[in-house]
Amino acid sequence: MNKRIIAITACPTGVAHTFMAAEALTVAATKQGDWIKVETHGSVGAKNELTSDEIATADVVIIAADIDVDLSRFTGKRLYRTSTGAALKKPALEISQALTAATLYGEEGKIQAPSLKAELPAVYKHLMTGVSHMLPLVVAGGLCIALSFVFGIQAFKEPGTLAAALMQIGGKAAFALMVPVLAGFIAFSIADRPGLAPGLIGGMLASNSGAGFLGGIVAGFLAGYVAKYMVEKIRLPQVMDALKPVLVIPLLATMITGLVIIYVVGGPVSAAMMGLTTFLSGMTTANAMLLGILLGAMQCFDLGGPVNKAAYTFGVGLLASQSYQPMAAIMAAGMVPALGMGVTTWLAKAKFSQQEREAGKASFVLGLCFISEGAIPFAARDPMRVIPSTMAGGALAGGLSMFFGCTLMAPHGGLFVLAIPHAVGHVAMYLISIIAGTALTGVMYAVLKPAAQLQIAES
């Protein structure tokens, strides 16, 4: 009997994985005769929103999300959690598991009886929720700072000028909010609204103490779990229960979080952050290249998965500390997989079907936009050859970017960021790094891919 399926997809950046996972689920469900509607939580908000009637008549709800999303609408429905990556790579399997393994969503807004195993991926989801809310601040702030340099590298020091205003917007406002927002939404992901205020305040304290994004992460998790514990354990008389979410928990959780950050965590984390910043600014060429190679390889290992996001989060966090080289290496490497797959379908046309060649063209365009997920269709078919090829190219691009001392003010945008003056430092060398990495990936996979594979696939 055909099923009625509704789903939500949401990735940390709200760009590639969100929409590609939605399309994969739609195609897989339609192919097996099921009705499906997917609500996508992209970078500009939710689209294709689910109606109350669609929710009420659904047999199962699939949440393919790497960030926290509001699930209060689905109380009492059978609900299944997965990641955008799993939904994208194996949509039919995820739908099958959802239909058989979904559990009722409880009255308290949590999946019933969560296990420790389930809590471990939740830590990643909480972190990515914070990162996804922080990203717009990083992009806007970084580009405002870059635009201030259009009038001269030191022009912002002149009071009353447009350059000074842009630097104030980007450096003193947007970048100042990065760590508090990161911490606040990590805590929000863990404890919902009771965690937001202590998370924001803990993040601000971490930022002011010099603990940077590392301190923000600590503050976010501390505030979130303290608030969550209080929500579950504090019991008040019914007449005072309304004060619990607006007064008791915010006050107590904020005090505990703040005191721990000030007296326990702030000093050591600040020292660690200062040491990291000093190390990065004083790296030798060899060390810089090694770091670039490592970050580049990580960026291309799982194409938007946890390892990729770990490298990306590292680079984004360092922008607040005025360390711009790692972010440049990460974005250069992140463009390589999709660009490389586009190049390889052109270099070795005979080894690819017409459909794969068309996919290669689309992949190339996605690569220009810093969407490495364009390579996922190729990696899913032939991971043992594609992944080493992308990692080799990404490592080369990242290493060369660090070797040339390239810098990047914004964490997204791909080659289109080059249109903004001073957003990228050493533009020509940056382009050479990307081209070199792309060429290596394209040539390597063109050589590794056997011609016989096409014949098997088409026979």
Task: Report how far residue 430's alpha carbon sits from residue 427's, in angstroms, rounded to the nearest whole number.
Answer: 5
Partners of 81 in the β-ladder:
63
Strand 45-47 and strand 35-42: the pairing is antiparallel
Burial class (CB in 10 A: 0-12, 13-18, 19+), 458: exposed
Burial 11-40 (b: 16+ CB within 10 A, else e): bbbbbbbbbbbbebbbebbeeeebebbbbb
Helices 306-319 and 266-281 cross at an angle (nearest 10°) of: 90
The DSSP symbol for 50 reads P
Active site residues: 11
Task: Report how far residue 125's alpha carbon sits from residue 129's, in angstroms, rounded to the nearest whole number.
Answer: 6
| Type of residue found at 227 | A
Query: How far, in Å, are 246, 248, 333, 348, 351 from residue 241 at the CA level?
Result: 10, 10, 52, 68, 67
169's tokens: 């917007």
Element (H, E) at 408: strand 407-408
Helices 383-403 and 285-299 cross at an angle (nearest 10°) of: 150
Burial 100-129 (b: 16+ CB within 10 A, else e): eebeebeeeeebeeeeeeeeeeeebbbbbb
128 Cα distance to chain centroid: 6
Task: Report how far residue 341's alpha carbon sits from residue 351's, in angstroms, rounded to the nearest whole number.
Answer: 13
Task: Report how far residue 56's alpha carbon sits from residue 227's, in angstroms, rounded to the nearest whole number.
Answer: 32
CA angle 104, 107, 109 (to 5 degrees): 85
Task: Report how far residue 303's alpha carbon sits from residue 394's, in angstroms, rounded to the nearest whole number.
Answer: 11
59's tokens: 């047999």
What is the dihedral sign for C-alpha 356, 305, 184, 209?
Answer: negative
135's tokens: 């990203």
